[in-house]
Amino acid sequence: MLRHAKLLLAAPLLALAAACTTTSPDYCAVDVRGEIETAMRTVETKLGSGCEYHFDGYFQSLLTLAEANPDKNNRRYFSDHLMRVQEMGVISRRQAEGLYNRYFNVKFVSLQGDYNTCSQTCPIRKQVMSDMQAELHDKELGLLRASNDAASFYRADHLLKETDLVLEATCRACVAGGTR
Partner 1 sequence: MTPLTYRGPVLMLAALCLLASATGHATGSGPVVRLFPTTVLEDIRETGQVAEDMENNLQQVIHRLDMQQQLYTESLCQGADGDQGCERIAKQLGATYLEMLEVMSDRLPEMERAVNSTRSSLEKRLRQELGQRTTPTSLQNTLLGEAGTATPNAEERPALRGRSGVRLSDRFKQYYDLVSTSKNGPSQSLAVVAADIYLDMEEASQLIAFTQQEISRAALMEQLNQSFGMITPEMSAVVSGVKEILFGETAMESPIASPPYAIGEPEFESPLAM
Contacting positions for partner 1 (CB under 8 A): 72-73, 75-76, 79, 82-83, 96-97, 100-101, 104-109, 111-118, 120-122, 128, 150-152, 154-155, 157-159, 161-163, 165-174, 176-177
Q: How far is CA 27 from CA 90, 98, 150, in A?
A: 18, 28, 38
The Cβ-side half-sphere exposure at 84, using a 13 Å CA radius, reads 17
Q: How far is the CB of 9 from partner 1 (least distance, A)?
A: 51
Q: How far is the CB of 123 from partner 1 (least distance, A)?
A: 12
| CB 153, CB 133: distance < 8 Å | no
Q: How far is the CB of 92 from partner 1 (least distance, A)?
A: 12
Q: Which is nearer to partner 1, 73 or 130 (CB)?
A: 73
Q: How many residues does the chain have?
A: 180
Q: Which is nearer to partner 1, 4 or 180 (CB)?
A: 180
Q: How far is the CB of 145 from partner 1 (least distance, A)?
A: 16
Q: How far is the CB of 127 from partner 1 (least distance, A)?
A: 12
How far apart CA 165 and CA 151 sit, in angstroms, is 21
Q: Which is nearer to partner 1, 28 or 106 (CB)?
A: 106
CB-CB neighbours of 39 under 10 Å = 22
Q: Which is nearer to partner 1, 32 or 136 (CB)?
A: 136
Write the DSSP assignment of 74-113 as a string of letters.
Answer: HHHHHHHHHHHHHHTTSS-HHHHHHHHHHHH-SS-TTS--
Q: Which is nearer to partner 1, 23 or 172 (CB)?
A: 172
Task: Tell me 35's DSSP state.
Answer: -
